[in-house]
């Protein structure tokens, strides 16, 4: 399902019903902010969270790593957030296999660079109902103008 970056903060209860998030594009700062927002929301529900990070290369070299992290229990936490960096279409089969079993209390945040419209990874996240796909592109001058205007109004400067 496609969700715009500015829509994420509007409907948080709906947002947390999903465990798979794809953040793609060139705006790394925005991707990082969204990841932190997801962490914050999950921590509000339950403070016992294990946070793990992997790169696609590590997973492709040994796919058992991701399966072990996903399906093994944790002694100290109730939930896990697994962030996968530098994802491409090469990882789609693994993500699809995990998605089919839909593990509860495990959240996947997948960072990717710009993905073409025909990307298998992007299509998977756009078409499934329990996945969220968000494009994180650099802001245009118009976008920045809108942000500035809303901040000025919010702080009673205008």
Nearest to 107 by CA among 44, 20, 13: 20
Higher pLDDT, 109 or 142: 109
Rounded to whole angstroms, the Cα distance separating 64 from 108 reads 16
Higher pLDDT, 23 or 4: 23
68-123 pLDDT, tens per residue?
A: 888 887 777 888 899 999 999 999 999 999 999 888 888 999 999 999 999 999 99
Nearest to 2 by CA among 124, 101, 143, 105: 124
């Amino acid at each position: 399902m496609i969700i715009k970056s500015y829509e994420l903060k509007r409907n948080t209860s709906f947002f947390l019903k999903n465990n798979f998030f794809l953040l793609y594009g060139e705006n790394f700062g925005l991707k990082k902010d969204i990841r932190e927002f997801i962490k914050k929301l999950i921590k509000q529900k339950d403070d016992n969270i294990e946070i793990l990070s992997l790169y696609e290369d590590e997973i492709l070299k040994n796919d058992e790593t991701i399966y072990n992290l996903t399906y093994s229990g944790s002694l100290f936490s109730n939930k896990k957030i697994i962030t996968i960096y530098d994802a491409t279409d090469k990882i789609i089969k693994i993500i699809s296999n995990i998605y089919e079993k839909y593990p509860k209390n495990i959240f996947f945040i997948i960072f990717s660079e710009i993905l073409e419209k025909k990307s298998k990874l992007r299509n998977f996240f756009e078409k499934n109902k329990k996945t969220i796909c968000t494009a994180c592109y650099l802001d245009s001058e118009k976008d920045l103008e809108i942000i500035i205007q809303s901040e000025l109004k919010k702080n009673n400067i205008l």
